[in-house]
Structure 1
Amino acid sequence: MARLRVAYEYTEAEDKSIRLGLFLIASGLLALFILGFCWLSPALQDLQGTAANCTVLSVALSGQHFECTFTCGADCRGTSLYPCLQVYVNLSQAGAPALLHQDEHQLLANPKCSYIPPCERENQKNSEIVTHWQDYWEEEVGLQPFTCYFNPHLRPDDVLLRRTHDESVILHCFLWPTVTFLVGVLIVVLTICAKSLAVKAEALKKRKHS
């Protein structure tokens, strides 16, 4: 009776281990699928942008003002205005002027301006932040070349100062789901091996007793 009880508990533990392993395998595959569509695809599109040397052609305020949304608490939200700074650069590869943007997010949020400040409640503060960046490009950068990124096929008239995604995103998209998958496979394999060894050991015991 005791042997049957031990064997039953052992089999139940094996089943739990196999179920855990299969769950991790399924989770790893599902994570690879989801992350591949949610993170990997936009990251690869972003990394397709070609690195180039840019030099500043002109820095000026366009005279236009755009709205941004600020928050001042859980139930406090409003809009304020910021001036539109336009930094035009010359690409070493293309030789044509292009509008510089901080990153892809700002390009999509406002394709007319080079910089979107963190939205402050007062318009004056927004103007001061933008003016600071105007001085930076005029005085500190000037005619010095710097690295920028552009995609001549998707947006030939726009360049980015930095990429939204980098190679680390692709690494994480593959690393953690793969680790989860491999751990699941390892649990299943070890459980099957342990069960096989237990069966062989039991068979050897029966031969000795017989």
Structure 2
Amino acid sequence: MFFVASRNAQAGGQSNNRSRSFYQKTPKGDVLDKKKPVTALRAGEDRAIFLGLGMILSSVAMYFVLGITILRSYSDSAWTEEGICVVVNSSITADMNCSYSCGSDCWRASKYPCLQVYVSVNETGRVGRLSHNEETQDSNSECLYVPKCQKDSWLMHAMVMNISERLQVHQQVPCYYDPDDQQQDVVLLTRIYGHSAVFHSLFWPSCMLTGGALIILMVKLTQYLSTLSEEIVKFKR
């Protein structure tokens, strides 16, 4: 009986020790389980902040690229005023020479007709030479349109004649002129970068910048509200 009682006492002691060790280990496990969501939440907040900063930096880089390309060309253009031009005279003056690539270090000559058009601007009443856009004015100021040089000269001739026929049908066309009379003898049919092109080029970088700033603002606001709620809970205790 003594041995049985001692064995029962030892078994009871071991069970009490196990229960004590269980109750001692349980709070530590709860603390670890609580730390896991907090750590995951902080990692998610850090990723969101990095995403917002990346969007802001990307938008700044896009603004820089647009500033030295589209915005610079738009601001340097002298033809800023839009008006209505009436065709006064349209004629083929001569054949212009051009060269096209036929392979590596290979260039061949071709020709296209030079269409010269004079128009009268209704808003000012002055007569000027019509040019397609700023690039055409820089490459060949005498011709309305400079087609891409290619082997088939008849195709380029057909393109120019098609433009001439359209101008004969539509005597009045929208155009751009220089209000300061610096380029009074030249009128543009279209602009490479107009108001709509500038707006669309700046719209998406602005959306990206706003989105990145909102992401960072929302993360900071969430962190502030979380800290404030913890302080309120501590104050109530």
TM above 0.5, yes or no, is yes
Work out the CA distance in 2 between the residues paired with 1:127 and 1:12. 65
Q: Is the contact made by 2:92 and 2:114 (CA closer than 8 Å) also made in structure 1?
A: yes
By how many angstroms is 1:4 displaced?
2.9
Q: Show structure 1 runs of 5+ residues with no match.
A: none
CA distance 1:169–1:9, shift in 2 (3 Å): same
Residue 160 of structure 1: aligned partner: 188
By how many angstroms is 1:204 displaced?
4.5
Residue 174 of structure 1: aligned partner: 202
- State which of 88, 96, 101 in structure 2 corresponds to 1:65: 96
By how many angstroms is 1:159 displaced?
0.7
Fraction of identical pairs, as percent? 26
Q: Is the contact made by 2:95 and 2:113 (CA closer than 8 Å) also made in structure 1?
A: yes
Residue 175 of structure 2: aligned partner: 148
Work out the CA distance in 1 between the residues paired with 2:229 and 2:121. 73
Q: TM-score, normalised by structure 1?
A: 0.79
The yes-or-no answer on 1:183 pairing with 2:189 is: no
CA distance 1:157–1:192, shift in 2 (3 Å): same
C-alpha RMSD of the superposition: 3.0
Work out the CA distance in 2 between the residues paired with 1:174 and 1:40. 9
Segment of structure 1 superposing worse, 85-94 or 187-196 = 85-94
Q: Is the contact made by 2:99 and 2:107 (CA closer than 8 Å) also made in structure 1?
A: no
Work out the CA distance in 1 between the residues paired with 2:114 and 2:79. 28
Work out the CA distance in 1 between the residues paired with 2:133 and 2:214. 42
What do residues 10-56 of structure 1 show as CA deviations (whole Å, max 9, x unaligned)? 22222222222222223223323332332123234448522233222
Residue 116 of structure 2: aligned partner: 86
Q: Is the contact made by 2:95 and 2:111 (CA closer than 8 Å) also made in structure 1?
A: no
Of structures 1 and 2, the larger Rg is shown by 2
By how many angstroms is 1:9 displaced?
2.6
What amino acid maps onto 1:107 in structure 2?
Q
Instruction: Trace 1:44-63 onto structure 2 (pairs within 5 A).
Output: 44-46=75-77, 48-63=79-94
By how many angstroms is 1:191 displaced?
0.9
By how many angstroms is 1:77 displaced?
6.8
Segment of structure 1 superposing worse, 47-56 or 21-30 = 47-56
By how many angstroms is 1:86 displaced?
0.8
Work out the CA distance in 1 between the residues paired with 2:231 and 2:61. 40
Residue 194 of structure 1: aligned partner: 222
Classify the secondary structure of the residue corresponding to 2:185.
Answer: strand
What amino acid maps onto 1:114 in structure 2?
L
Structure with the higher fraction of residues in strand conformation? 1
By how many angstroms is 1:89 displaced?
1.8
Q: How many residues align?
A: 205
- State which of 126, 135, 147 in structure 1 corresponds to 2:156: 126
Q: Show structure 2 runs of 5+ residues with no match.
A: 1-31
Q: TM-score, normalised by structure 2?
A: 0.72
What amino acid maps onto 1:176 in structure 2?
W
The yes-or-no answer on 1:113 pairing with 2:156 is: no
